[in-house]
Amino acid sequence: CRRVGFMPSGVRIPHCPPMLIRNAILKDLNRLKEIEDAAFGRQKINENRFTIKTRLLAFPKGIFVAESGGKVVGYTASELRGRITRFALDYDARTRHSPKGPYMYIATLAVDPKFHGQGIGQVLLRKQLVLAKKLKLRAVVLSTWYARKYYPRFGFKVYRTIYLKNGEINYHIFIREVG
């Protein structure tokens, strides 16, 4: 099953299990942490439970989940920022979220590995892009190394490359203008 394009909440795609996209709630927190660990634990860039919870408290309309068969199978979380900032792990999102900030920072886009290849990440990413447009933001920003080939397909460009002290690339900051 392959999904293409943005699907509104609850749309059924022929030959695909029903997928619901909705805002996350505190009750989802344990499952979000499980997905975070499954998606990013091997790279040791998985967020702690506290950070996920504070993102939900700081900007609840910026956290979406994909649900299939009553189970959360993926999620994305964003914050608004006043400026483009570097990647960080394990912080209180309430101290970084800027309600009137012109930049959306997509902090997480994670899908349970058992559900990879079904277009769930695409749908969640497009949901964030629609929200950014609705909020009339300047740009959407994210940081990644592992998915550096994924985001250009959605109009993201490398804004800055962050290097380790030994000169190796640590990660890229990507940006996509909203428009």
pLDDT average per 10 residues of sequence, the chain (179 residues):
46 59 96 91 76 92 94 95 73 80 93 91 95 97 82 91 86 89
Residue 17 has what pLDDT?
62
Query: In DSSP terms, which residues pair with 110 in a beta bridge?
Result: 75
Task: Specify whether the CB–CB gap between 103 and 82 falls below 8 A.
Answer: yes
Residue 90 has what pLDDT?
62
Residue 129 has what pLDDT?
96
Residue 16 has what pLDDT?
57
Q: How many CB atoms lie within 10 A of CB 92?
A: 14
- Determine the Cα–Cα distance for residues 174 and 172; give it in Å rounded to an integer: 6
Note the pTM of the prediction, 2 decimals. 0.85
Residue 149 has what pLDDT?
81
CA 24 to chain centre: 12
